[in-house]
Structure formats: C-alpha cells, structure tokens
Amino acid sequence: MRAVILSAGYGTRMRPLTYYLNKGMIPLAGKPLLEHVINKLRKQGFTRLTVAVSHLHEQVEHYFGDGSRWGVELDYSISTEPLGTAGELWNLRDKLADEAHFLVHYGDIMTNLDAAAMAKQHLTEQAAATVGFVTNVRIHTGLGTMDGTRLTSFVEKPPLTDPCHAAMHIYANAALEYMDKGKDVATNVIPEMIAAGEKVCGFLDPDAYWHDVGRLSDLDEAIELFEGGELRMV
C-alpha cells in the first residue's frame, strides 16, 4: 500500500522558520520532521511513499532524493499553489490510479499510531475510508462546567479521553472521486462520504501518543518531549 505524506502549503503557523525552510525540513531532535515520519512509516511496513510538497520543495527533494538511504521508494507530487489536503490527493489521481488503497499521513504530526494494524482493519472491513483516532490528546485551553453562572469545575489543558482525529486516513481508490482542489479531507471529504452512505470506519489506537507540530509552540513542546524520552515515533 502506498503512503502519501502531506507536506504542502506555506507553513504559515511556523513562521519565521518557514520563510526559508520547507515545513517538513524543520529540525526536531536533530532530524527534519519528514525524516521522523518516513522512518516511522518504513518501520511499520510502508516502503512506497509519495510526498506532496509545494513551498521550497527543492529542499525536500535534495535531502531525501529517491529515499534509498532510508530504505524506501520515494517520489514527489509538486504543486505550485495551495490546493488543500483533498486537492493534493486530487493532484495525485493519476499516480494513485493503480492503487486499490492508499494511506494518507499529515506531515506535521508526530504519532506512533499503528498504521499497519489500521491498514489491516481497513482491508478486512472493505471500507471506503478509515480515519485514525487516538486518545489523551492535549488541548490548548481549559475546560469548565457551569451551573447557571456558577463554575462547578475547571481543569486547565486536560487530555481528552474521547477519540481524537489522528490526521491519518486510509482510502479505497474510489474515494478519489470526492477529492478536488480547495477541499479539505477532514472538513469536506469525510463528512461528504458519510452523508453519501459510503462505508467510513474509524480505527482507534488507545495506546498511541499524538503531537501536533504545526506551530512554533508545538515544536518547542515536542523538543522537550523528545529530550525527555516521552515522544518517539515507533
């Protein structure tokens, strides 16, 4: 199964670093973010990879080349304008034409969610799409409970116990019909597929950790977690 890593866009939340670095090339624990993702996917059995990239794409191509140094077959999908996450997959429709199923992994998240087990469930269920979920995701605000105007409980930045979107999906080839420029897979495509009656499944890995690295504050926290041994990709 081919895996597509979404690393396009301008990385505006990571400025000023992304003025001169592709967001996938931002270092974390001595390696670019994309290298952590590529290593994780390879160790979980995914060796045919495509990176969707736009802004400063030459940096990514020069560093990773054909992927052979990392034991993978790597190629690229280059867009010249922001297409949205679903638009990047629409842009790959010819390359994915012969893929019965494909995995999508956002390039700015760190997680050890079991992608191999997710793929096995997806194929067993014969799903049109499978969305990965994790628990205990840290949020960036506090949660309160109110009785009228009286605050009865308050917890600052609690980990969520409900299943949270892990920014990893698997699609059957037919799902490409829902992809288009300007669309987002989470905001548009998954709800549209559910509304259309497609078999959309969820895969929950309750033991996985998950960390967004899409903002500078997230990056600082991820560095601290890596140094403390709390964050690892596999």
pLDDT tens digits along 179-216: 988 888 888 999 999 999 999 999 998 888 776 765 55
Q: What is the CATH number of the domain that holds 99?
A: 3.90.550.10
Most confident of 37-41, 53-57, 149-153, 226-230: 37-41
- The tally of domains found in the chain comes to 1
Looking at the predicted structure, is the pLDDT value of residue 222 above 70? no
* Assigned domain for 84 exists: yes
pLDDT of residue 129: 94
- Average pLDDT of the segment spanning 72-94: 87
pLDDT of residue 54: 76
* Assigned domain for 114 exists: yes
pLDDT of residue 82: 77
* Assigned domain for 20 exists: yes
Q: Is the model more confident about 25 or about 71? A: 71
Residue 17: pLDDT band with limits 50, 70, 90: low
Most confident of 104-108, 144-148, 220-224: 104-108
Looking at the predicted structure, is the pLDDT value of residue 234 above 60? no
Per DSSP (E only), the strands in the chain are 2-7, 27-28, 31-32, 48-53, 73-78, 101-106, 109-111, 129-134, 137-138, 143-147, 150-155, 159-160, 164-172, 200-204, 210-212
Q: pTM for this structure?
A: 0.83
* Assigned domain for 233 exists: no
pLDDT tens digits along 88-104: 898 898 889 889 999 99
* Assigned domain for 121 exists: yes
Q: Which residues pair with 146 in a beta bridge?
A: 151
Looking at the predicted structure, is the pLDDT value of residue 157 above 90? no
Domain hosting 31: range is: 2-227
pLDDT of residue 99: 92
Q: Is the model more confident about 28 or about 51? A: 51
Contacts of 148 (CB under 8 A, 6+ apart): none
* Assigned domain for 208 exists: yes
* Assigned domain for 232 exists: no
- Give the Å distances, CA to CA, from 184 to 27, 58, 83, 192: 26, 25, 9, 11
pLDDT tens digits along 20-50: 677 778 777 778 888 988 998 999 999 999 9
- Give the Å distances, CA to CA, from 219 to 29, 98, 172, 230: 10, 37, 33, 14
pLDDT tens digits along 101-136: 999 999 887 888 999 999 999 999 999 999 999 887
What percentage of the chain's residues is helix, strand, coil (to nearest 5)? Answer: 35, 30, 35
* Assigned domain for 196 exists: yes
pLDDT of residue 51: 92
Rounded Cα–Cα distance for residues 115 and 117 (Å): 5
pLDDT of residue 14: 59
Token output for 185: 């897979």
